[in-house]
A and B are shown apart, each in its own frame.
Chain A
Amino acid sequence: MPVYKTPKSIIAPSGCCGGCGHGIIQRLIAESIEELGLQDQVIACVDIACSEWSLDCLDYDHIAGPHGRIASVATGIKKVRPDKTVYALAGDGSSYVIGWTETTYAAVRDIPITMIVVNNGIFGMTGGQMNLATTLIGDKTVSSKAGRRRETMGHPVDMLQAIKTFDVEFAARGALYDTKHIDETKRFIKKGFENQRDNKGFSIIEVLSPCPTNWKLDPVDAMEKIKNENEKVFPVGVYTDRGGNK
């Protein structure tokens, strides 16, 4: 029987709400880093938003960039410290809306960083506003009170479909609604770190993650919503894997 123990890099409880996917993602990052023996050479770049909760929680050198700019912050750090393991952890508002330019050009430049995007379908930390890229049609948010309407608010878009056309090393989407999907998400995140260790190019892993607080759902129902609704629009799996053949 394998032994399951909290990774040593997790040194404090996070400030996340109960049932938030950010906590699971933090653990998967720490497990992947420790399994690869990279814990002494990490520079973590976290976005201003709920990703920032990992600042106190994970025992790595950290920098919090201006909201939305985290892919550029990580790019700069990787350029000057190519020996370091640099990861960017950000929400979907940061990565796909306000910071879509930064995400895009980190991908286009094929910077060998590991980017982890938390797709919770809203702007979490600021109280649950609609996310143009990821809020589902019909979902109620504080800025789409009667539910998102395609006619006036546009439709969700799968940004990994765009990113895969930029010739990046690896793009994949995972989910957290059961242990099978948590295991798969871990494999994607670990692969993102292996690719960086082997200097292969830009790796991005998006994770379908619940925000029970702003979805106004019980944490168990929030996981069910991801399984029954969000994953239908944002399928999990590998979008591109170049296998090191630049």
Chain B
Amino acid sequence: MAKAKANTELCKGCRLCVRACPRHAIIPLELVNKNGYEIIEIDQELCIGCGMCYKTCPDNVFTVE
């Protein structure tokens, strides 16, 4: 099954993907990237590869394949 991958160096901490994921597979973290934004993590067990995160993210963090 396709799964989402995240390049969190591009993340700007907006959490729109957290809101969009139908499986609640995207976990908001307090961990920051080198730009100082709080990033996210994907629970690969829950992910169904639907691509909603890709469509929602303004900063091209996600690839689903």
Contact = CB atoms under 8 A, between A and B. Distances in A.
A13 B65 contact: no
B16 to A, nearest CB: 6
B56 A179 contact: yes
A18 B12 contact: yes
Contacts of A6: 60, 63
Contacts of B14: 18-19, 212, 219-220
B13 to A, nearest CB: 5
Interface residues of B, number: 26
B59 interface: yes
Interface residues of A, number: 28
Given A4-B65, A6-B63, A18-B37, A13 B10 contact: yes
A23 B55 contact: no
Interface of B: 1-2, 10, 12-16, 18-20, 37, 49, 51-52, 54-60, 62-65
Nearest 10 Cβ contacts at the A-B interface? A23-B58, A18-B12, A19-B14, A4-B54, A219-B14, A4-B64, A1-B2, A18-B14, A4-B51, A6-B60
24 contacts: A1-B1, A1-B64, A2-B2, A2-B64, A3-B2, A4-B55, A4-B63, A4-B64, A6-B60, A6-B63, A16-B59, A18-B13, A18-B59, A19-B14, A23-B59, A27-B58, A27-B60, A178-B20, A179-B20, A179-B52, A220-B15, A220-B16, A220-B19, A223-B19
